[in-house]
């Protein structure tokens, strides 16, 4: 776990704890041992601490949180490093994160490779940097940068780290060790300043300003508030008093609900990348050229992902006008994406140069992967897949972005159903992180593995789903939307239903979502007969945000107000259908919206559509904005107690509708006390 070499008075301590050198108990003990020995060894004049493998220490071992603490603690190890009276140099490559950066900041100097990244991401786990990071970072980089880094959790690159004073030297080589040893030799025998003895540069107001600027992003989160307290202590109090405040805050957060949820989510995201039962020998297919059919809302966004990731892209439309409009919008959105990612403006031109717009399917003949994003109509998709099958080179993957249609039926229109897969992007496709990878009955393992690898290559989080109406995410969403409609029929106000979910932490409620998408999606005036509230709203000319009249009225700035017209239509609908209206409390609203979603997810698990409960959480956090600090719907249900969910569903049974079916899996888990996750 630790190897040491000494050369000309410089001791190099190399840690090796794959995959990411997390600072687990055994590694801490071994490091502590090496430090203690070095301290008493007169032959050692200076020390370098570095790591083998792909990265410097990526932090504390997250799996140890909640377990009994084993000595030495990270804080004790860090104190021992700093207390050495010989210079200690951290040799950083890969990512120095969390506890890893805290170790580096206790060293007397830091050397980093050009590609290294340094950060305190604890906040993303609902924690604060708990091994003196909140007290050390401000002493090295000043309060303003420290606040930004610790509260956003975003790392800085080596160049920035050098500019702000976090790194003392950047080395060009991939291995930082030789440069760090040379640096240590320069410093051996010379005086140095310990981080704890430095003053904090900057003004305390910078903290308040940062929180003010980021108010909406930080809403509801415990960790940033606790970090703020530590940063204020770093400015006002001696080092050890600040550390005591930090410790108290760390323990409180670690044992709190938000951090448990976020830690669950961390591992859920990593588990989602794994395909159960997949033979390890299966190699993904090479993909470099991608075809996109349809340059509408989704096609343009999908193409952007591949352009940004360095693929060649062909985009095909049915007529010149739509092609031109689609490509123009794509260019605008690509420029926005580039700005957001901090890419130079000329990169947009370079990326656009790799895009080939076309009106002919022949243009995708030599693509390795073709994704269709045409109208959501089975006949259109089947005809298209049959055509593509005859044109696109053998072995190439044919993918559908369908939201609801049966992928197996689409695959059946081709002679290569094993090469057909669903790639269900979420709108806006260049922004949303989720990609549901839909595994058809005949999709080959190799194609599935390729699709999951592609998700990573384009910066998405892939989750495998089986074939069913709406796959994992939209099927659960549909269950929620059905209940939302029932609630307003029974007398809940539109705004009360939406507010129950936004108060819970979701970005918008069901009616805000419907207004945004358009009330008339799938509405046909020829067959509309006032059978649903939605039909009646459409018949009255309400279309949602696009004509500023929907479940809400919208002003020119898209501010919404309750719509008296919609309310009247809803009331009338209830009367005509003999539905009694009453006031419905916020708790009942929330239960009737969320419990049926949990039930639907349990059915999804029962049917083998999702591989594991935590995948459902990954879908909802990344596709629908479920707050990660609530872990995802499955983790939330487990924390609430499944028995309570089942009891609630039974209690509301009469309101849930004739199609509602309680999941056996949910009932059994509730009875046995076993969690879903
Ligand atoms: N503890 C335990 N396991 C960890 C870990 C950690 N800190 N970091 C990563 N792992 C595990 C992952 O779960 C994964 O396991 P698996 O193969 O069984 O699924 C494996 O290491 C590889 O991780 P990734 O798939 O994420 O690898 P990448 O190369 O994509 O990313 C990384 C590497 C950027 C280091 C990323 O893993 C990461 O961001 N890790 C977490 C970093 C972090 O949050 N550190 C702070 C920890 S809290 C802390 O330090 C508290 C302190 O202040 C007291
Ligand atoms: P859209 O209507 O904006 O775009 C579809 C485009 O496909 C149009 O520009 C049309 O001209 C083109 N097209 C139709 N048939 C074609 C053909 N045979 N050849 C070439 N081009 C053709 O639709 P949108 O919203 O982009 O949806 C596309 C697909 O993506 C649908 O299957 C939809 O269900 C799915 N989807 C949509 C989401 C959304 O939020 N809009 C989210 C996720 C999936």
Q: Are residues 183 and 157 in the same domain?
A: yes
CA 122 – CA 102 distance, rounded (Å): 11
First to last CA, the chain: 32
β-pair partners for 117: 95, 157
278 belongs to a structural domain: no
Spot the catalytic one: 45, 82, 122, 317: 122
**Cα 95 to ligand 1 centre (Å):** 10
Mean pLDDT of the region 369-389? 97
Q: Is 403 in the pocket of ligand 2 (CB under 6 A)?
A: yes
Atom of ligand 1 nearest to the CA of 54: 29
Average pLDDT, the chain: 96
Q: Is 376 in the pocket of ligand 2 (CB under 6 A)?
A: yes
263 belongs to a structural domain: no
**Cα 263 to ligand 2 centre (Å):** 37
Instruction: Reduce the DSSP state of residue 322 to 3 states and report it.
Output: helix
Given a contact cutoff of 8 angstroms between Cβ atoms, the answer to whether 539 and 530 are in contact is yes
Statement: residue 96 has pLDDT above 90:
yes
Q: Are residues 565 and 590 in the same domain?
A: no
Give the per-residue pLDDT at 607.
Answer: 97
269 belongs to a structural domain: no
CA 54 – CA 63 distance, rounded (Å): 20
Q: Is 438 in the pocket of ligand 2 (CB under 6 A)?
A: no
Pocket-testing residue among 15, 20, 102, 154, ligand 1, by greatest number of atoms within 8 A of Cβ: 20
Statement: residue 292 has pLDDT above 90:
yes
Is residue 102 flagged as an active site residue?
Answer: yes
Q: Is 407 in the pocket of ligand 2 (CB under 6 A)?
A: no
The total number of structural domains in the chain stands at 4
Give the per-residue pLDDT at 285.
Answer: 98
Q: Which ligand has the nearest atom to the CA of 150?
A: 1
Statement: residue 344 has pLDDT above 90:
no
Pocket-testing residue among 62, 76, 133, 243, ligand 1, by greatest number of atoms within 8 A of Cβ: 62
Give the per-residue pLDDT at 536.
Answer: 97
Q: Is 126 in the pocket of ligand 1 (CB under 6 A)?
A: no
Q: Are residues 563 and 597 in the same domain?
A: no
Find, among 659, 539, 541, the residue nearest to 599 by Cα.
659
Give the per-residue pLDDT at 382.
Answer: 98
264 belongs to a structural domain: no
**Cα 98 to ligand 1 centre (Å):** 10
**Cα 294 to ligand 2 centre (Å):** 6
Mean pLDDT of the region 519-548? 95
β-pair partners for 424: 436
- Structural domain that includes position 149: 2-255
Give the per-residue pLDDT at 515.
Answer: 97
Statement: residue 307 has pLDDT above 90:
yes
Statement: residue 340 has pLDDT above 90:
no
Statement: residue 69 has pLDDT above 90:
no
Q: At 250, which CATH number?
A: 3.90.226.10
The predicted-structure confidence for 588-627, as pLDDT tens digits, reads as follows 999 999 999 999 999 999 999 999 999 999 999 999 999 9
Binned at pLDDT 50, 70 and 90, residue 31 comes out as: very high
Q: Are residues 188 and 321 in the same domain?
A: no
Q: Is 330 in the pocket of ligand 2 (CB under 6 A)?
A: no
Q: Are residues 548 and 646 in the same domain?
A: no
Closest residue by CA, ligand 1 atom 1: 61
399 belongs to a structural domain: yes
268 belongs to a structural domain: no
Binned at pLDDT 50, 70 and 90, residue 280 comes out as: confident
Q: Is 295 in the pocket of ligand 2 (CB under 6 A)?
A: yes
The predicted-structure confidence for 474-484, as pLDDT tens digits, reads as follows 999 999 999 99
Q: Are residues 336 and 364 in the same domain?
A: yes
The predicted-structure confidence for 441-476, as pLDDT tens digits, reads as follows 999 999 999 999 999 999 999 999 999 999 999 999
CA 490 – CA 582 distance, rounded (Å): 6
Q: Is 372 in the pocket of ligand 2 (CB under 6 A)?
A: no
Strand residue runs (E) in 234-284 = none
Q: Are residues 44 and 154 in the same domain?
A: yes
CA 407 – CA 395 distance, rounded (Å): 18
Q: Which ligand has the nearest atom to the CA of 320?
A: 2
Given a contact cutoff of 8 angstroms between Cβ atoms, the answer to whether 442 and 448 are in contact is no
The predicted-structure confidence for 6-23, as pLDDT tens digits, reads as follows 999 999 999 999 999 999
Q: Which segment, 49-53, 64-68, 518-522, is predicted with the most confidence on average?
A: 49-53
Given a contact cutoff of 8 angstroms between Cβ atoms, the answer to whether 95 and 117 are in contact is yes
Q: Are residues 188 and 331 in the same domain?
A: no
Mean pLDDT of the region 299-321? 97
Binned at pLDDT 50, 70 and 90, residue 677 comes out as: very high
Last residue of a domain, one of 554, 576, 598: 576
222-236 helix and 205-213 helix, angle to the nearest 10 degrees: 160
Closest residue by CA, ligand 1 atom 26: 270
Share of the chain above pLDDT 70, in %: 100
Find, among 422, 413, 349, the residue nearest to 379 by Cα.
413
Q: Which ligand has the nearest atom to the CA of 251?
A: 1
Q: Which ligand has the nearest atom to the CA of 522?
A: 2
Is residue 409 flagged as an active site residue?
Answer: no
Q: Are residues 54 and 187 in the same domain?
A: yes
Q: At 557, which CATH number?
A: 1.10.1040.50
306 belongs to a structural domain: yes
The predicted-structure confidence for 196-231, as pLDDT tens digits, reads as follows 999 999 999 999 999 999 998 998 899 999 999 999
Q: Is 253 in the pocket of ligand 1 (CB under 6 A)?
A: no
Q: Are residues 137 and 233 in the same domain?
A: yes
Q: Is 129 in the pocket of ligand 1 (CB under 6 A)?
A: yes
Closest residue by CA, ligand 1 atom 52: 99
Mean pLDDT of the region 525-537? 96
Q: At 643, which CATH number?
A: 1.10.1040.10
Q: Are residues 210 and 152 in the same domain?
A: yes
Q: Are residues 111 and 154 in the same domain?
A: yes
Give the per-residue pLDDT at 66.
Answer: 82
Give the per-residue pLDDT at 80.
Answer: 97
447 belongs to a structural domain: yes
**124-152 residues labelled b (16+ CB within 10 A) or e (exposed):** bbbbbbbbbbbbbbbbbbbbbbbbbbbbb
Spot the catalytic one: 102, 317, 591, 600: 102
Find, among 138, 133, 144, 128, the residue nearest to 65 by Cα.
128
- Of 66-70, 199-203, 406-410, 496-500, the least confident: 66-70
Give the per-residue pLDDT at 451.
Answer: 98
Share of the chain above pLDDT 90, in %: 96
Give the per-residue pLDDT at 345.
Answer: 84
Binned at pLDDT 50, 70 and 90, residue 649 comes out as: very high
Counting beta carbons within 10 angstroms of the beta carbon of residue 556, is it exposed (0 to 12), middle (13 to 18) or buried (19 or more)? exposed
């Amino acid at each position: 776990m630790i190897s040491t070499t000494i050369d000309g008075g410089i001791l190099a301590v190399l840690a090796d704890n794959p995959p990411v050198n997390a600072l687990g108990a055994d590694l801490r003990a071994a490091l502590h041992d090496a430090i203690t020995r070095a301290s008493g060894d007169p032959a050692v004049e200076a020390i370098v601490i570095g790591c083998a493998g792909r990265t410097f220490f990526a932090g504390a071992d997250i799996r140890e949180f909640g377990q009994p603490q084993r000595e030495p603690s990270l804080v004790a190890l860090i104190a021992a490093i700093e207390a050495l009276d010989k210079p200690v140099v951290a040799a950083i490559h890969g990512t120095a994160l969390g506890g890893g950066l805290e170790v580096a900041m206790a060293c007397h100097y830091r050397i980093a490779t050009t590609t290294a990244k340094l950060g305190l991401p604890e906040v993303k786990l609902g924690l604060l940097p708990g091994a003196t990071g909140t007290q050390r970072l401000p002493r090295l980089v000043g309060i303003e940068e420290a606040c930004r880094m610790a509260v956003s959790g975003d790392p800085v690159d080596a160049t920035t780290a050098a500019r702000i004073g976090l790194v003392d030297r950047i080395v060009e080589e991939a291995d930082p060790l030789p440069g760090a040893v040379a640096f240590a030799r320069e410093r051996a025998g010379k005086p140095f300043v310990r981080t704890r003895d430095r003053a904090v540069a900057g003004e305390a107001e910078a903290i308040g300003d940062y929180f003010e600027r980021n108010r909406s992003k930080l809403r509801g989160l415990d960790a940033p508030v606790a970090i703020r307290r530590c940063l204020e202590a770093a400015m006002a109090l001696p080092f050890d008093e600040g550390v005591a405040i930090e410790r108290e805050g760390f323990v409180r957060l670690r044992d709190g609900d938000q951090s448990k949820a976020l830690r669950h989510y961390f591992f859920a995201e990593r588990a989602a990348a794994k395909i159960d039962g997949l033979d390890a020998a299966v190699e993904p297919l090479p993909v470099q050229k991608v075809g996109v059919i349809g340059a509408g809302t989704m096609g343009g966004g999908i193409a952007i992902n591949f352009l940004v990731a360095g693929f060649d892209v062909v985009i095909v439309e049915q007529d010149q006008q739509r092609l031109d409009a689609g490509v123009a919008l794509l260019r605008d959105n690509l420029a926005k994406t580039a700005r957001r990612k901090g890419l130079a403006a000329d990169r947009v031109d370079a990326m656009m140069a790799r895009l080939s717009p076309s009106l002919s399917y022949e243009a995708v003949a030599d693509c390795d992967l073709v994704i269709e994003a045409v109208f959501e109509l089975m006949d259109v998709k089947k005809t298209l897949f049959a055509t593509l099958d005859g044109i696109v080179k053998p072995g190439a993957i044919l993918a559908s972005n369908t939201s609801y249609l049966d992928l197996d039926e689409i695959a059946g229109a081709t002679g290569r159903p094993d090469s057909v897969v669903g790639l269900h992007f979420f709108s806006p496709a260049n922004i949303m992180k989720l990609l549901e990878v839909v595994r058809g009955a005949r999709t080959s393992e190799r194609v599935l593995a390729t699709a999951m690898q592609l998700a990573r290559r384009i910066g998405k989080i892939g989750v495998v789903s089986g074939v069913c109406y709406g796959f994992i995410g939209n099927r659960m969403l549909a269950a929620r939307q059905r209940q939302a409609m029932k609630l307003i029929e029974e007398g809940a106000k539109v705004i009360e239903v939406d507010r129950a979910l936004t108060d819970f932490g979701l970005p918008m409620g069901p009616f805000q979502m419907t207004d945004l998408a358009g009330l008339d999606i799938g509405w046909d005036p020829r067959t509309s007969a006032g059978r649903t509230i939605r039909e009646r709203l459409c018949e009255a000319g309400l279309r949602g945000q696009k004509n500023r009249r929907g479940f809400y009225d919208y002003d020119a700035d898209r501010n919404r107000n309750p719509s008296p017209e919609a309310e009247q239509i809803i009331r009338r609908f209830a009367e005509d259908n003999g539905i009694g209206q009453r006031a419905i409390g916020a708790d009942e609203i929330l239960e009737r919206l969320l419990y049926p979603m949990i039930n639907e997810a349990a059915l999804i698990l029962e049917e083998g559509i999702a591989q594991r409960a935590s995948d459902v959480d990954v879908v909802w956090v990344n596709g629908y904005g479920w707050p990660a600090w609530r872990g995802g719907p499955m983790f939330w249900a487990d924390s609430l107690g499944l028995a309570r969910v089942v009891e609630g569903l039974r209690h509301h049974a009469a309101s849930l509708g004739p199609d509602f079916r309680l999941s056996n899996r949910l009932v059994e888990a509730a009875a046995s006390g076993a969690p879903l996750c």
